[in-house]
Amino acid sequence: MASTTIYEVKSALLTKLRADSTLSSVQVAYGDPGGAARREHVFIGDVTAGGQDPESLSSGRRRRVETYTLDVVVSVQSKPQGLQENEQRAFVLAAAVENVVADYPTLSDTVTGLMFIECSGMSVSSNEAGADGPHSLITVHFAVKARLS
């Protein structure tokens, strides 16, 4: 088994997000699409490691439990809409992201050792200014816990 589940969790989550009907018309990417971003996009963002702790104190090879926070970023920018409508749309997309994880807390058991992934909070940033119209950014934070060998 690998020394972390980060890549496998990100890949499995990306597959689930791309299959979600609410997100079907939205760009969903493994990482920040940068200059290729569409007006509505979702991407898997930063990972903050929480650590790896031994599962038990026994002789020989110890199994470890890994914890980390995985961020999924939802971005909506639109000239025709005002900031309030823009932010409302971003919350609809963020709810779809949350629902995917709530429906598949082990990502359908596609990641060996994954114990769970669950929403642990979100942060919101919006601004009115810009040549491309108002911009709303929601970062949904997910707690991940996995068993490593």
Query: Which pLDDT band holds residue 118 (cuts at 50, 70, 90)?
Result: very high
Expressed in percent and rounded to 5, the helix, strand and coil fractions of the chain are 30, 40, 30
Mean pLDDT of 101-110: 97
35-89: pLDDT as tens digits: 999 999 999 999 998 888 777 666 666 778 999 999 999 999 988 888 999 999 9
Q: Kindly state whether residue 1 falls inside one of the protein's structural domains.
A: no
What pLDDT is attached to residue 97? 98
What is the rounded CA–CA span in Å between residue 78 and residue 48?
A: 30
Residue 110 lies in a domain: yes
- 65 within a domain of the structure (yes/no): yes
Residue 68's pLDDT is 97
Q: Is the pLDDT of residue 1 over 70?
A: no
Q: Residue 47: which CATH number?
A: 3.30.70.1700
Interatomic CA distance for residues 116 and 82, integer angstroms = 37
pLDDT tier for residue 2 given thresholds of 50, 70 and 90: low
In a domain, 71, yes or no: yes
Instruction: Report the pLDDT value the prediction gives residue 130, as an integer from 0 to 100.
Output: 75
Question: By residue range, what is the domain housing residue 139?
Answer: 6-148
Residue 90 lies in a domain: yes
Domain membership flag for residue 37: yes
**Tokens for 72?**
């999924």
Question: Does residue 91 form part of some domain?
Answer: yes
Report the alpha-carbon distance of residue 114 to residue 91 in Å, rounded: 27
* 20-37: pLDDT as tens digits: 999 999 999 999 999 999
Q: Does residue 112 lie within any of the structural domains?
A: yes
Contact 67, 51 (CB under 8 A): yes
Domain count, the chain: 1
* Arithmetic mean of pLDDT over the chain: 92
